[in-house]
């Protein structure tokens, strides 16, 4: 349909950036910035707030319902408006919360993760409302305010959906993006759509020993036990496996490779077990594609330089690949450590999500909307490494996908949770077109 697109999307993005909705700082700042952001949305998107049903779920979750022409199984489009801390502000080339617009680029924390998606999604809805459009089925828009701090608002929203018997036909949250280098060395434009996401479990290793003077250490101290446990885990990584969706992803990459890399990718596709081992040997992102990963992220122990610690600890961040669970990962950690003097306990844990279909109508609609917004580039399914708020919905919504319709270079992807995060105005305009097209072509709920 013919829709008049509002001008000024860069300015709206800029104003969102200027409100520092850092969820990790809520205890220090209070909820004020989040309330300010909610008020800003009321100003920027008057039709959204006038015509859509609205409710808050917890103090940080904003849920909109757009009644469609048919009721029943709705669509759910998700984004989050909280951001991570910036660290050393002096390392940024532009102040992270100024929302500087410079030469077709908006700079600042959250432009990619994930206020950019908030902006283009709400712009699309506002533009369609201005054209008196009504979606074919009910559409929910969820904006979470604490995704970066474990997503308690989204967890409660998912529970509320279940209590009300609402089972979305499609769920779309942040995740993949439009990229020019899907993996290092593979040069091609592609929309990477997460059809599954790894699970996560935080594991704490704790060891105790008698305190005493460091001048006469015993044979095995608490810190020795923790160091030995970490060494054993590193020496015995999780097994490598090649899910079908990953094999299909590499098949799509083959035409974009040359020389030895093309030969390697053909082997990966033709002999999955060997391909999994090859990728695992590369470490980094390549290895993470085919196995559960484990990283020691925090170490603790000791009170003085000359005192043997009574207790030592290590925190492990484990990203669980499909085919494993938090329970099996925990069991393996205990088995590899082989030390009854080390206590192994789990905190936050979520199993990997089921793999959403790539041969159904939902994925075809996503692909068509991508093609329309980004001049025919392909949509390639993959397994996402990081966790999103959608993990609370996939248990009752099998067609759950993870994709932000913004074009990102490799440098931009590295700036997420890093320094100099920025988005181009062109990507914002194309992202709005993606959401608008997707909403327009939603089928009736038959």
Write the pLDDT tens digit of every residue in 157-169: 999 999 999 999 9
DSSP conformational letter for 389: G
d(CA 22, CA 149): 9
Which of 66-75, 209-218, 241-250, 414-423 is most confident? Answer: 414-423
Q: Are 381 and 253 in contact (CB under 8 A)?
A: no
Residue 361 has pLDDT above 80, yes or no: yes
d(CA 82, CA 22): 6
d(CA 127, CA 57): 26
Q: For residue 446, what pLDDT band results from cuts at 50, 70 and 90?
A: low
Write the pLDDT tens digit of every residue in 264-274: 889 989 999 99
Mean of the pLDDT values across residues 53-70? 97
CA 438 to chain centre: 20
Assigned token pair, 185: 């060395």
Assigned token pair, 372: 């329309």
CB count in 10 Å sphere of residue 271: 13
Residue 45 has pLDDT above 70, yes or no: yes
Over the chain, what is the mean pLDDT? 94
Which of 23-27, 71-75, 193-197, 312-316 is predicted with the least confidence, judged by mean pLDDT?
71-75
HSE-CB for 160 with a 13 A CA cutoff? 14
DSSP 82-102: -B---S-GGGSSS-TTS--EE
> Whole-model pTM?
0.92
**Domains, the chain, with CATH or none:** 9-197+354-440 (3.40.630.10), 199-350 (3.30.70.360)
Residue 151 has pLDDT above 80, yes or no: yes
């Amino acid at each position: 349909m013919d829709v008049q697109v509002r001008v000024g999307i860069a300015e709206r993005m800029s104003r969102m950036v200027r409100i520092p909705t850092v969820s990790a700082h809520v205890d220090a700042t209070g909820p004020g910035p989040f309330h300010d952001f909610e008020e800003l949305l009321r100003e920027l998107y008057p039709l959204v707030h006038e015509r859509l049903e609205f409710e808050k779920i917890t103090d940080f979750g904003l849920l909109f319902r757009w009644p469609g022409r048919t009721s029943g199984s709705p669509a759910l489009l998700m984004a989050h408006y909280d951001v991570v801390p910036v660290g050393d502000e002096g390392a940024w080339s532009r102040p992270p919360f100024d929302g500087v617009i410079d030469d077709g680029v908006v700079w600042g924390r959250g432009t990619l993760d994930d206020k950019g998606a908030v902006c283009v999604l709400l712009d699309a809805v506002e533009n369609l409302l201005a054209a008196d459009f009504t979606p074919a089925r009910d559409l929910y828009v969820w904006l979470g305010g604490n995704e970066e701090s474990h997503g308690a608002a989204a967890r409660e929203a998912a529970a509320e959906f279940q209590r009300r018997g609402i089972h979305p036909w499609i769920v779309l949250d942040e995740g993949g993006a439009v990229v020019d280098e899907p993996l290092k060395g593979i040069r091609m434009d592609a929309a990477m759509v997460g059809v599954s996401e790894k699970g996560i479990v935080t594991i704490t290793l704790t060891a105790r020993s008698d305190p005493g003077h460091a001048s006469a250490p015993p044979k095995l101290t608490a810190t020795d036990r923790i160091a030995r446990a970490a060494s054993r885990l590193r020496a015995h990584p999780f097994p490598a496996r090649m899910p079908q969706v990953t094999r299909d992803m590499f098949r799509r990459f083959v035409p974009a490779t040359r020389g030895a890399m093309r030969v390697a990718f053909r082997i990966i596709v033709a002999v999955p077990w060997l391909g999994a081992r090859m990728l695992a040997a590369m470490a980094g992102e390549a290895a993470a594609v085919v196995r559960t990963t484990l990283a020691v992220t925090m170490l603790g122990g000791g009170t003085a330089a000359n005192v043997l610690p009574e207790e030592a600890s290590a925190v492990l961040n484990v990203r669980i690949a499909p085919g494993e669970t938090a329970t099996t990962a925990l069991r393996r950690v205990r088995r590899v450590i082989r030390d009854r003097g080390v206590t192994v306990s789990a905190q936050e844990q979520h199993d990997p999500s089921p793999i959403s279909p790539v041969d159904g109508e939902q994925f075809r609609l996503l692909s068509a909307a991508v093609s329309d917004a980004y001049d025919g580039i392909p949509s390639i399914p993959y397994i996402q490494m990081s966790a999103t708020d959608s993990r609370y919905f996939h248990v009752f919504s099998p067609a759950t996908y993870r994709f932000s319709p913004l074009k990102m270079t490799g440098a931009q992807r590295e700036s997420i949770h890093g320094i100099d995060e920025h988005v181009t105005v062109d990507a914002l305009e194309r992202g709005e077109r993606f959401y608008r097209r997707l909403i327009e072509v939603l089928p009736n709920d038959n």
